[in-house]
Structure 1
C-alpha cells in the first residue's frame, strides 16, 4: 500500500469518527461529483449520502448550480471531461473511458454534444452513434439512429439541439434536434423512456411570441439555418406539440459587413463570430492583434440580440461593457462558443486557442436587469489537447 493510499484511508477513518450531523454538513459543502466519489469510499459514507434528508438538501443546493463542461482528449484512453462551477474554485475531472467499458468503441474518439441534469451525450464519428452517459447512476446507453439514419459528429449543430432531463434524479430524458429536410424545418424528438424517435414538421408562425425578456422558459428554440441576414428557427413548447417556424431577419445596416462565421472561427479570416442558443444571438467582433499578425485576432466588442415580439426580427439587447472587454480580451487564432438561457440569465462561453494554449471566457447576462458579469476560470491545463466539445449544464442531482 503506497503512502498516498495510506493517508487517504487514515483521513477517511478519522472522518468517520465525527458525528453524522457534522459529516453531513461537511459533505453538503462539496459539489456533487465529489459527493458521488465519496459514496464509493466506504459503507459509512454511503449510508450518510443515501439518507433521504441528505439527498433532499444536496439536490436543493445543486438545482441552482450551473456547470461548464469541456471535453479534451489526445486519444480515447486519455479523454477527460472537465467540469467547473462558479460555486467552486477548481476544475473537476471525469475520466470518460471508465464509463464506456460496457460498450466497445474499438478505441474510437468521441465528441461531446451536450449535457443537462445527470445525462451527457457523446457522438462517435466512425460508428456514427449517440451515447448517453449518466455519471451519477453510472449507466451508459446507445441511442437508436434517428429517422435520418446514422450521423457523424459534423452533422450535429450545438444551437440546433436540446437535451431535457426528466424529474430531478431521474434517469429519463428527451433529446431534440432540428434539421432542414426537403426544404422544410423538421423537429426530431427522442424519448428515452420509450426508446423511440418522433418526427414532426413545423408550421409557419402565425401568432406572436413573447419577447426574449418576457417569455420565460415555456418555449424551446432550436436553430435550423443561420445566415448573414436571416435565420430559421423552430419554436416548440416543452410538450413538443405543434412546433412553429420562425424566420427572424438581422438588419445589417450600420453593422459590420465583413466576413462572419457561425459557432466556430479561424482568426486569420473571420472578423465576426455569431453564436446562437435558446432564441438568442451573441455577436463577437474582432480586429487584428497588436502587434500586427495576420493569423491572430483580438476581441473588440460583444453584443447580445434576442427575438422580436413577432419572431420576425433579431432585436439588439445589450453589449458587454468596455471595462469588462479589457479584462477578457486576449489574442486568438481560433475561437468557438456556446450560449444558453435559463431562468432569465444568459450564459456564454468562448473557447479560444493561441499558439496551442486554450483559454475559456465565461460571461453571464441578467436579461431583466441588463447586467453583465464575468466568471474567472482557473487554468484547465489544456495545452497540447484537442477540444472535443463544450456545454453548459444544470440540475445534477442524487437519485
Structure 2
C-alpha cells in the first residue's frame, strides 16, 4: 500500500500508549488498505491485526464493502492502482510496479483486467499472459494460456470475463471467459486449485433451463460472447444445469414510459449518441448529445437506462431510468467515455469514466433492484491528468487472511 512510514512513527508511538481494546476499536473503523498498511508500522500493531478475533470482525465488515479500482500509469514508469469506497472520502494508492518486478515483461506496461476479493488480474500484451495478484498476501501468479493460446489485451472484453473467488480469505479462484470458437459459443474456466483450464461448448437454451437463479439461491454467471445493435449472445453458467447455455436476447429499442406511452430510443447511426455497457446479464444505455457549443468533439449525458435479460433469455427488458434530476447532477462535457457494470446481491453498480481535454471524470451509480432506487456516489478527483487509463473494475470481498 501507499508508503508514508516516515510520517507514521510519531503517530505509532502515541497509539501504542492506548489500551489495546481502544486500538482494536480504532483499527476496525478504518478501511482495509489502511489496516494492511498499519500492520507494517510496528510489531504491536501487527499483533492486534493478526489476532483471530480482530480478523473475523474486520472481515465481517469489509467483505460487504464495494470498491472501485482504477489503474493508471505513465509509459514505462510507475503504475498505480487507485481504490475508492463509499465508506471513505478519498482515494487510496496501491503501488504495483515493485510487486510485479519478479516477473519480467521486458519493460512492458500491463493492463488491469478485473478484480474480485483479494485477487486482481493483469494482462500482458507482448507475451499474451494473464497475471493474478493477491494484494493482501503480496503474491503473484502466472495463469497459463488457455487452449486458444496467448491473447493480447485487445482480446479481453470486460463483459465476457468473470473472476470468481472462494470464501473470504480463500486463496483459490476461478477465471472464466466466453469466446466464439468455430462459430460456437464456448465457456473457458481456469481453476487455480488444479491450475488447469476446462472448455465447454454452450448449449442452446431450449431445454427449459432457467437463466437466472436456482432453487438453492445461487445466481447464474452471465458472460457476453458477442454484443450487437439488435441482438447479444450470452453464455449463462447456472448451478441447475449440467452445461452452460446460450442466451440470445434481442433489443428492439423500445420501452413503456411511466405514462404508458411507447417511446423509442435514439438511433444507432451515431455511435457517440448511445453507449451500451454490459455486465452480469444487464445492459446500461447512456444517451448523449452535443454540448452547449455544439462541438462535435464534446458530448453531454442526457439520460441513462438500465435493461436486463428476460426470464426466458430471449429479449432485453427495460428495468429503470436514472431520474432526470440525478442526471443533471452528473452533467459534464466529455470527449470519450467508457464504462463497467456489475451486479451483486441485488445491487447493480455502474461506473462511467470520461475524458475531456485530458481531464478525467468518474461517475459511480448504483441501482437497488428491490427498492428500485438509484444512488449516485460522488467520487473525488483522482488527479489523472497526464496519466493513461489502463483498466477499471468494481470488487467486493477484500479481506484479511
The structural deviation recorded for 1:237 is 2.4
Corresponding residue SS for 1:330:
coil
The structural deviation recorded for 1:186 is 0.2
The structural deviation recorded for 1:257 is 1.7
Matches within 5 A, 1:177-192: 177-192=177-192
Deviations 1:8-55 (A, max 9, x none): 212111211111111111111111111111111111111100000000
Is 1:135 paired with 2:145? no
Q: Report the equivalent of 1:265.
A: none
Corresponding residue SS for 1:171:
coil
Q: Report the equivalent of 2:260.
A: none
Matches within 5 A, 1:343-354: 343-354=345-356
* Aligned-partner Cα distance in 2 for 1:337–1:294: 21
Matches within 5 A, 1:1-399: 7-206=7-206, 207=208, 209=210, 217-237=218-238, 241-252=242-253, 254-259=264-269, 270-399=272-401
Deviations 1:130-164 (A, max 9, x none): 00000100000010001100000000000000000
Corresponding residue SS for 1:188:
strand
The structural deviation recorded for 1:6 is 5.8
Corresponding residue SS for 1:380:
coil
* Aligned-partner Cα distance in 2 for 1:145–1:100: 19
- Which blocks of at least 5 consecutive residues in structure 2 are unaligned? 255-263
* Aligned-partner Cα distance in 1 for 2:139–2:98: 11
Corresponding residue SS for 1:224:
strand
Equivalent residues of 1:216, 1:343 under 8 A apart: no
Corresponding residue SS for 2:318:
strand
The structural deviation recorded for 1:121 is 0.1
The structural deviation recorded for 1:348 is 0.4
* Aligned-partner Cα distance in 2 for 1:204–1:210: 11
Specify whether residues 151 and 327 from structure 1 end up closer, same or farther in structure 2 by C-alpha distance, changes over 3 A only: same
The structural deviation recorded for 1:259 is 3.1
* Aligned-partner Cα distance in 1 for 2:5–2:392: 33
- Which blocks of at least 5 consecutive residues in structure 1 are unaligned? 262-269
Q: Report the equivalent of 2:258.
A: none
> TM-score, with normalisation over the residues of structure 1?
0.94
Corresponding residue SS for 1:258:
coil
* Aligned-partner Cα distance in 2 for 1:275–1:8: 42
Specify whether residues 164 and 5 from structure 1 end up closer, same or farther in structure 2 by C-alpha distance, changes over 3 A only: closer
Equivalent residues of 2:211, 2:220 under 8 A apart: no
Specify whether residues 76 and 29 from structure 1 end up closer, same or farther in structure 2 by C-alpha distance, changes over 3 A only: farther
RMSD between aligned alpha carbons?
1.7
Q: Report the equivalent of 1:267.
A: none
